Homo-oligomer: A and B are copies of this chain.
């Protein structure tokens, strides 16, 4: 191909702490340049920027201006670094954490940009991990059950406090005037596309996974919202939109203003927004059923494509055309994976190990991996339940907590570390088994995210525990590349892109040559240990012994009333 004919797209991945932009060659997916822009205000969880307004413990906010800065800083950096002519950049796509939502005026101005609302925490972006809407989530779930609405079935039986309506309802509950002033309530993903194109074109799968929307039924009926709170009755029509757009569609062209921010040409095709985990799927070469894409990071996100609608217990949700067109996109998750190891390193690794790592110039995680790699399966004698941050799938229960057993006076830190890794592998195996049992087959794994590159031991244990081969994409930035692929689809074949995400994936995504195969001997012993895991999982997770919940309740009361730290036995023990 003549160099002149090369076309490029830009993908922008909006993460929790920074935005990552990548410039990709449309022909083969080659990553030409990358730029990362950390958000100036990061996660706002103590006090509002330039303000004395303090936040409650479970809050997590962001500043929408930080997102715009990514367009203004990182995208121009791509062009500068690569020397690519903006005329050869045919499209741009974005992906975002979700549900990450904000209130704006009808023209899309965030309320936190306005002096009148700037000191109100509810005016800011509620980040995905904002957990202060749990009371609203509880009431929503109770109401849905009481009224017999069956949409909970699509979400493993429960709506999370992280999702759209609990967050929206919290605004109404705590700041009714601000709620009234909000012309729009919108996912940040859709909002940045709006900023780029001047058009509010909301992504259908975002509504499907986070706002109880389905292609067949739409949003819950107004009567449901009225049952929650009469003032919510018309929330969809007043603050949102019933007009939704599919993945890969062109939301519009870059406005002059956005062209000036980015250095790209006005009119450049902008794709409808996407969810960060989901956009990784085609970038990981996965375009058909049977392959599970797992994003392994602080938490795990498991995605599978299915040809039929199935109710799989305990998944996070499924949406028709939710990940790729023509398939049901099924999602499950584990809420504590990389976070688990980080907790362990911070709280449980002795000084001698830190010293050894420092002396050998190693990261402490590397040292633990090295030591744990010397153990054979079963040698640690330990078994853990990976619920330090609750259980997302398949139990969908945030009140479960961690468990470990088998410790002796000879138990070493690397043995505990390995047990934590193994526990997350058992959790993934249980998710896969559950999909398989309920008509969504899984026969291989593609591992993406931060962990597969960094932790070979973890990948081998996952292969051994699941009994499935694991491949890894060439790119280490699947979300941004996946977003760029959607930019190429938004541009279309005529402009030098592709007409479908399938074509784009075939051309632009690649796997590494090496792969992790299950080791037969390890599989045999992990099969035994997995059965033990399942037995404990069911004992502690399915009501035989709700000790974890009772302890959590006791702890909660003890912290609320530290001066007493006490309650009548009869009140708690039941």
B-side contacts of A349, CB under 8 Å = 350-351
B552 touches A381 (CB 8 A): yes
A528 touches B573 (CB 8 A): yes
Selected interface stretch from A31-39, A209-217, A561-569: A561-569
Query: Given the known A-B contacts A401-B406, A409-B339, are A554 and B566 also in contact in the complex, defined by CB atoms under 8 Å?
Result: no
Find the B residue at minimum CB distance from A532: B547
Selected interface stretch from A161-169, A173-181, A184-192, A518-526: A518-526
Residues 85 to 136 of chain A near chain B (Cβ within 8 Å):
none
B-side contacts of A568, CB under 8 Å = 524
Interface check A548, CB cutoff 8 A: yes
B545 touches A383 (CB 8 A): no
Find the B residue at minimum CB distance from A547: B532
Interface check A149, CB cutoff 8 A: no
- Minimum CB–CB distance from A273 to chain B (whole Å) comes to 29
Interface check A527, CB cutoff 8 A: yes
A407 touches B402 (CB 8 A): yes
Selected interface stretch from A18-26, A226-234, A251-259, A535-543: A535-543
Interface check A468, CB cutoff 8 A: no
Residues 369 to 386 of chain A near chain B (Cβ within 8 Å):
376-383, 385
Interface check A138, CB cutoff 8 A: no
Q: How far is the CA of A572 from the CA of B525 in the complex (A)?
A: 9
Return the contact of A402 from the options B402, B405, B531 (Cβ within 8 A).
B405
> How many residues of chain A get a CB closer than 8 Å to chain B's CBs?
69
Q: How far is the CA of A403 from the CA of B381 in the complex (A)?
A: 12
Return the contact of A566 from the options B377, B403, B406, B552 (Cβ within 8 A).
B377
Return the contact of A405 from the options B540, B557, B565, B569 (Cβ within 8 A).
B540
- Minimum CB–CB distance from A454 to chain B (whole Å) comes to 20
A528 touches B409 (CB 8 A): no
Find the B residue at minimum CB distance from A539: B545
Interface check A347, CB cutoff 8 A: yes
- Minimum CB–CB distance from A339 to chain B (whole Å) comes to 6
Q: How far is the CA of A348 from the CA of B346 in the complex (A)?
A: 10
